[in-house]
């Protein structure tokens, strides 16, 4: 936990958690006990805490606010007031500690009445959180009060899941859910510290990347241009031409499309990164838009010819189409990978690929680095020309 002279410029530019840590604390030299906690999942922002000794002589932590909510001077002022009250015998958590809700809340009650209702409103993956909570987390820890949870129990649970035969990534999803839920428990005042902190994930790379050869791509495009189900074929072509995710495309509306400037602006509510994203529309994508026939007639781009409503799924038809193209294992998400591979192999930089695909973290884009072989070979060949003896006078 580095001790630094916190300043507003430091907070603006240096709140970075190293990749090998889940969290880091920056302790203030000016007000002892005040620190900013920065989590790896929330770079460039943090939460102010005051570290102090409670009446039992144990170290406690009082949340003050996030760096986005209050300024450094406000945090210092609040920390000094808390320290003064503590010196007079006041316990910042004294009121909360006396309430039955915070002192005796069990993991089951917290998950069902606090966390899951919150997740339902704020997380697209709510149904997975609900499933993991119902099937494993609550049966395992539900009877325990939050304060009784230990790092050893959670670590053992994570390991046991793997021993039961669950995939490492699935085990990690359970641990991430516990960690996230207990982080909120800390923020909401039910816990002083998160016992799931610093438990290592298995971090097994189980990403599936399927890149089509030129011949496979040609077969697929041929089917997409001739198959009778034109709407689904146009959806697939649009994914291949833009690198968009299926959910983004099926929720796309015409007011998001700027045909004059050839840009599709995906709103934050429909973007995985939760940020507005501008997708450039190349001539192939513009051709797809022109063939849809929904502009001016419907709000959404892709409309079911059967129901007249926005398309919500295309997987059943897609399975038939990919089999027809001789690609029975090709996923719709692979069209996004294919688009990225075409960008890289045509000499576009990973920075460009990152922004076109909307990756919030450049590490995600690094998976395509190995595809730049063709461009790198061409670059290396340019040196060979200069070394050719026939060019030496």
pLDDT digits (tens, 9 = 90+) for 311-325: 999 999 999 999 999
Whether 344 contacts 375, CB under 8 Å:
yes
pLDDT of residue 351: 84
pLDDT of residue 91: 73
| Residue 94 vs residue 16, higher pLDDT | 16
Across 262-284, average pLDDT: 88
Residue 345: the pLDDT is 81
- pTM comes to 0.55
- Pick the residue with more confidence: 377 or 262? 262
Q: What are phi and psi of 25, to 5 degrees?
A: -115, 135
* pLDDT average, residue stretch 9-15: 90
Distance CA 315, CA 301 (A): 18
Over residues 41-52, mean pLDDT:
88
pLDDT of residue 101 exceeding 50, the answer is: no
Residue 186 has pLDDT above 70, yes or no: yes
Task: Supply the pLDDT for residue 388.
Answer: 66
Residue 35 has pLDDT above 80, yes or no: yes
Backbone angles phi, psi at 149, to 5 degrees: -65, 135
| 48 token code pair | 């102010």
Query: Could you tell me what percent of the chain has a pLDDT over 70?
Result: 90
Res. 64: pLDDT tops 50: yes
Q: Is the pLDDT of residue 292 over 80?
A: yes
Q: What is the pLDDT of residue 211?
A: 84
Q: Which residue has the higher pLDDT, 93 or 7?
A: 7
Q: What percent of the chain has pLDDT over 90?
A: 57
Average pLDDT, the chain: 87
Helices (H), the chain: 8-13, 72-87, 94-98, 100-104, 107-109, 116-122, 126-132, 138-141, 151-163, 168-187, 214-226, 230-242, 246-250, 283-292, 315-324, 333-345, 350-357, 362-365, 373-387
Tokens standing for residue 351: 């920075």
pLDDT, position 114:
94
Better pLDDT: 55 or 21: 21
Structure tokens of 177? 């859910």
Residue 303 pLDDT more than 90? yes
Of 251, 232, 263, residue with least CA distance to 332: 232
Chain segment 193-235, per-residue pLDDT in tens:
899 998 999 887 656 667 899 999 999 999 999 999 999 999 9
Q: Give the pLDDT confidence score for residue 275 in this predicted structure.
A: 81
């Amino acid at each position: 936990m580095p001790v630094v002279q916190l300043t507003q410029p430091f907070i603006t530019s240096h709140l970075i958690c190293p990749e090998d840590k889940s969290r880091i604390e920056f302790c203030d030299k000016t007000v002892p006990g005040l620190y900013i906690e920065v989590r790896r999942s929330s770079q460039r922002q943090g939460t102010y805490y005051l570290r102090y000794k409670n009446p039992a002589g144990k170290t406690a932590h009082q949340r003050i606010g996030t760096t986005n909510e209050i300024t450094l001077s406000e945090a210092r002022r609040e920390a000094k007031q808390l320290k003064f009250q503590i010196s007079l015998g006041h316990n910042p958590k004294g009121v909360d500690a006396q309430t039955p809700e915070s002192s005796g809340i069990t993991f089951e009650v917290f998950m069902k009445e606090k966390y899951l209702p919150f997740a339902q409103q704020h997380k697209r993956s709510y149904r997975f959180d609900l499933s993991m909570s119902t099937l494993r987390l609550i049966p395992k820890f539900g009877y325990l009060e939050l304060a009784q949870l230990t790092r050893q129990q959670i670590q053992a649970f994570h390991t046991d899941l793997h021993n039961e035969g669950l995939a490492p990534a699935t085990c990690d999803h359970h641990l991430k859910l516990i960690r996230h839920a207990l982080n909120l428990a800390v923020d909401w005042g039910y816990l002083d510290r998160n016992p799931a902190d610093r438990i290592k994930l298995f971090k097994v790379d189980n990403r599936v990347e399927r890149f089509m050869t030129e011949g496979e791509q040609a077969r697929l495009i041929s089917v997409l241009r001739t198959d009778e189900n034109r709407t689904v074929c146009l959806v697939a072509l649009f994914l291949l031409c833009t690198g968009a995710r299926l959910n983004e495309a099926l929720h796309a509306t015409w007011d998001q499309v700027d045909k004059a400037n050839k840009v599709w602006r995906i709103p934050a509510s429909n973007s995985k990164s939760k940020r507005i994203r501008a997708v450039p529309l190349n001539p192939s994508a513009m051709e797809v838009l022109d063939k849809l026939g929904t502009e001016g007639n419907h709000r959404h781009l892709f409309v079911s010819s059967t129901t007249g409503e926005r398309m919500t799924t295309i997987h059943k038809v897609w399975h038939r189409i990919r089999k027809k193209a001789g690609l029975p294992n090709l996923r719709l998400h692979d069209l996004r990978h294919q688009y990225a591979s075409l960008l890289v192999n045509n000499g576009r930089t990973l920075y460009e690929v990152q922004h076109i695909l909307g990756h919030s973290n450049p590490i995600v884009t690094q998976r395509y680095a190995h595809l730049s072989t063709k461009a790198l070979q061409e670059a290396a060949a340019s040196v060979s020309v200069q070394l050719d003896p026939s060019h030496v006078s």
